[in-house]
């Protein structure tokens, strides 16, 4: 294992003022997001959209790494320049989603298990040769009446750990993403209980599979009340609860935690990340940053709508969100930044 290289990459991924941009929607997910805003769903539009993102001027000032999807890492832009080359040229580290999706889990109604371990060693070698320096695997845990079950938590944690060990063997930093979903009526307290149990199980499995914690990035959910819960806590209460969950479960050896946005509005995601850094940064053992997809991309997607004439304005919206989240990562985000 190239330990020093993994450690250096992981640290660069959470460099001061920077975070990750997730643009790794699978083809069905990308198509669904296009459909919602009336964009035709085909390879050409997905290519144009991904090109819009990776050619956004100044992106590297706020974004340390981008997470690509298999289709995108193989594509090239203008003059046949591979996207990966454009990304590296912008001072950004290319990464790749390597799970093949969360599927219904046998014997566990309403729960999912993420697949993709078969053949993963060979795929990681190929992605590494294509220029990827880190990878991502997402497990999902739903909260409901009788769920999550121990079987679901355990199986997903073990898959995450086996993926992470293979990544480190291949010289790629694993982004370990156990997402406790926001859907439902559950309270913030319940989300905290589930998130803590999930994270404890994940770190037990990472230890069992001999994963070097200095060479991973954790990508968790924030601790949030369910979207349909009548009680919605304040930004500061969410920040307190999230930091408390993480302090109780995430070892200090981990260099950085980059949150997913999970369906929060772009502004709320920035405000909550900001509150965590503004209130706790000097006392935390790890960097707290972002790895948002929707909370960075959504405003840009809604402006673009598949029209060449809107590219520049969409890129401005994208860089604006990247800038706001960079400020939040420093604890310097202010609501007034949204009006500029
Ligand atoms: P969201 O920020 O839209 O939740 O996506 C992050 C991600 O990478 C999900 O796997």
Closest ligand 1 atom to the C-alpha of 138? 10
Query: What burial class does residue 336 get, using C-beta atoms within 10 Å of its C-beta: 0-12 exposed, 13-18 middle, 19+ buried?
Result: exposed
> Residue 256: which domain range?
2-339
Quickly state the pLDDT bin for 339 (edges 50, 70, 90). Answer: confident
Over residues 257-282, the mean pLDDT reads 97
Give me 260's structure tokens: 């997913």
Q: Alpha helices, DSSP H only, in 140-210?
A: 150-169, 188-208
The residue-averaged pLDDT of 123-146 equals: 98
List of residues 6+ apart from 36 with CB closer than 8 A: none
Each residue of 136-167: pLDDT tens digit? 999 999 999 999 999 999 999 999 999 999 99
**Tokens, residue 316:** 């401005």
pLDDT digits (tens, 9 = 90+) for 96-105: 999 999 999 9
Residue 1 has pLDDT above 80, yes or no: no
Query: Atom 5 in ligand 1: which residue has the minimum CA distance?
Result: 293
- Given a contact cutoff of 8 angstroms between Cβ atoms, the answer to whether 18 and 62 are in contact is yes
What pLDDT was estimated at residue 2? 87
Q: Nearest-CA neighbor of 287 among 275, 271, 276? A: 276
Q: Verify whether ligand 1 is closer than 6 Å to residue 260 (CB atom).
A: yes
Q: What is the average pLDDT value for the chain, to the nearest integer?
A: 97
Cα(237)–Cα(230) distance, integer angstroms: 15
- One-character DSSP codes across 114-134: E---TTHHHHHHHHHHTT--E
Q: What mean pLDDT is predicted for residues 281-287?
A: 97
* Tally of domains in the chain: 1
296 lines ligand 1 (CB under 6 A): no
Question: What digits encode the pLDDT tens for the residues 225-238?
Answer: 999 999 999 999 99
| pLDDT confidence bin for 297, thresholds 50/70/90 | very high
| Widest Cα–Cα separation across the chain | 54
Give me 130's structure tokens: 């294509």
In this prediction, what percent of the chain has a pLDDT beyond 70?
99
21 alpha carbon – ligand 1 mean position (Å): 9
* Mean pLDDT on 259-285: 97
Q: How do residues 72-85 score in pLDDT, each as one tens digit?
A: 999 999 999 999 99
Mean pLDDT to the nearest integer, 94-119: 98
The DSSP 8-state label assigned to residue 157 in this structure reads H
Give the separation between CA 324 and CA 60, rounded to whole angstroms.
14
Average pLDDT in the 32-56 region? 98
- Categorize the per-residue pLDDT at 170 as very low, low, confident or very high, splitting at 50, 70 and 90: very high
Tokens of 230: 């009548």
From the alpha carbon of 296, which atom of ligand 1 is closest? 2
Whole-angstrom distance, CA of residue 187 vs CA of residue 167 = 35
With a 6 Å cutoff on the Cβ, whether 180 touches ligand 1 is: no
Q: Is the pLDDT of residue 203 over 80?
A: yes
Peptide bond into 39 cis (omega under 30): no
Q: Residue 286 pLDDT more than 70?
A: yes
3-class DSSP state of 42: coil
- Describe the chain by its helix, strand, coil percentages, rounded to 5: 50, 15, 35
Find the mean pLDDT for residues 35-60.
98
Q: Is the CB of 295 under 6 A from ligand 1?
A: yes
Return the closest-CA partner of residue 3 out of 171, 129, 135, 127: 171
Would you call 219 a catalytic residue per the annotation?
Answer: yes
Sort residue 229 into left (φ over 0), alpha (ψ -120 to 50) or beta: beta
Both structure tokens of 165: 């060990």
Residue owning the nearest CA to atom 8 of ligand 1:
22
In this prediction, residue 92 carries a pLDDT of 98
- The 3-state DSSP class for residue 88 equals helix
pLDDT-derived band of residue 340, with 50, 70 and 90 as boundaries?
A: low
Strand intervals (E) in 58-126: 63-68, 93-97, 102-104, 112-114
Domain at 330, CATH number: 3.20.20.70
The minimum-distance atom of ligand 1 relative to the CA of 67 is: 8
Question: Smallest Cα–Cα separation from 177: which of 84, 51, 93, 261?
Answer: 261
Instruction: Decide if 5 is catalytic.
Output: no
Task: Quote the strand ranges of the chain, DSSP E.
Answer: 19-22, 63-68, 93-97, 102-104, 112-114, 134-141, 173-180, 217-218, 256-259, 287-292
CA distance 97 to 115: 12
């Amino acid at each position: 294992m190239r330990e020093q290289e993994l450690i250096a990459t992981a640290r660069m991924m959470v460099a001061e003022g920077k975070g990750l941009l997730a643009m790794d929607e699978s083809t069905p997910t990308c198509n669904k997001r296009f459909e919602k805003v009336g964009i035709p769903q085909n390879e050409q539009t997905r290519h144009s959209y991904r090109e819009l993102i990776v050619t956004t001027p100044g992106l590297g000032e706020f974004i340390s790494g981008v997470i690509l999807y298999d289709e995108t890492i193989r594509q090239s832009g203008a003059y046949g320049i591979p996207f990966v080359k454009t990304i590296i040229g912008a001072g950004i580290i290319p990464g790749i989603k390597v799970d093949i999706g969360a599927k219904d889990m046998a014997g566990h109604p309403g729960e999912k298990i993420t697949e993709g371990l078969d053949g993963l060693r060979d795929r990681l070698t190929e992605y590494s040769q294509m220029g990827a320096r880190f990878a991502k695997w997402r497990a999902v845990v739903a909260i409901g009446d009788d769920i999550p079950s121990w079987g679901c938590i355990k199986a997903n944690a073990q898959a995450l750990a086996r993926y992470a060990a293979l990544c480190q063997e291949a010289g790629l930093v694993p982004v370990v993403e156990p997402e406790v979903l926001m859907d439902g009526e559950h309270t913030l307290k319940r989300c905290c209980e589930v998130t803590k149990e999930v994270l404890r199980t994940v770190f037990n499995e990472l230890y069992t599979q001999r994963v070097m914690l200095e060479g991973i990035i954790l990508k968790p959910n924030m601790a949030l009340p369910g979207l349909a819960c009548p009680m919605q806590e304040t930004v500061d209460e969410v920040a307190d609860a999230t930091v408390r969950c993480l302090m109780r479960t995430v070892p200090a050896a981990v260099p950085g935690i980059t949150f997913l946005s999970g369906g929060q509005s772009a502004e709320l995601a920035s405000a909550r990340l900001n509150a965590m850094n503004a209130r706790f940064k000097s006392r935390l053992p790890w960097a707290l940053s972002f790895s948002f997809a929707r909370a960075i991309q959504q405003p840009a997607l809604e402006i673009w709508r598949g029209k060449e004439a809107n590219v520049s304005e969409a890129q401005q919206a994208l860089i604006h969100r990247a800038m706001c989240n960079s400020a939040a990562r420093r604890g310097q985000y202010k609501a007034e930044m949204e009006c500029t």
